[in-house]
Homo-oligomer: A and B are copies of this chain.
Amino acid sequence: MTATQDLTALYAEIQHFYARQMQLMDGRDFEGFAATFTEDGEFSHTPGQLARTRAGIVAELREFHRRFAQAPVVRRHWFNMIVAEPQPDGSVRTTYYAQVINTRPGADAQVGPSCVVTDVLVRADGALLNKSRQVRQDRLLLAH
């Protein structure tokens, strides 16, 4: 198998990994989502915030989703335009676009903030895991 074939197989694997991972998030299975990170994984989805370890990620997501308790919403995370760059240490750095689609009672679906995300993915027991994720909202690029 050539390096190109390796990368194309990896590419589909990453897409599939993200699909499973974000269906867990959108289904509010925060423990399931956190389990797609390494034990010491890092997750930053809002400016100035950084959750560490699986337990820390679960706690952050529970806190974050409290805002939806009184304002019901179905959220769907879409990831696309993924660039995957294998690193010398065996990890893979990905940079991609993320868009949340929100559905609220009695309203049409609406697009949420447009984001660019950077992940470091590693392999453990054959499966991909997030070592880190950093989400950056496009609107913050305009503030400077």
Contacts and interface: CB of A to CB of B under 8 A. Distances in A.
Interface of A: 4-5, 7-13, 15-16, 18-20, 22-23, 72, 74, 76-84, 95-97, 99, 101, 103-105, 108-114, 116, 126, 138-139, 141-143
Contact of A83 (B20, B72, B104): B20
Contact of A19 (B7, B9, B12, B83): B83
B111 A108 contact: yes
A108 B109 contact: no
A109 B103 contact: no
15 contacts: A5-B9, A7-B16, A8-B9, A11-B13, A11-B16, A12-B12, A16-B84, A19-B81, A19-B96, A20-B83, A76-B97, A77-B81, A78-B80, A103-B138, A111-B111
Contact of A81 (B11, B23, B111): B23
Protomer copies: 3
Contacts of A15: 11, 82
Contacts of A77: 81
Given A8-B13, A12-B8, A22-B81, A109 B109 contact: no
3 nearest A-B pairs in the assembled complex, by CB-CB distance: A8-B12, A103-B138, A74-B138
Contact of A111 (B72, B84, B109, B141): B109
Contact of A16 (B5, B82, B138, B142): B82
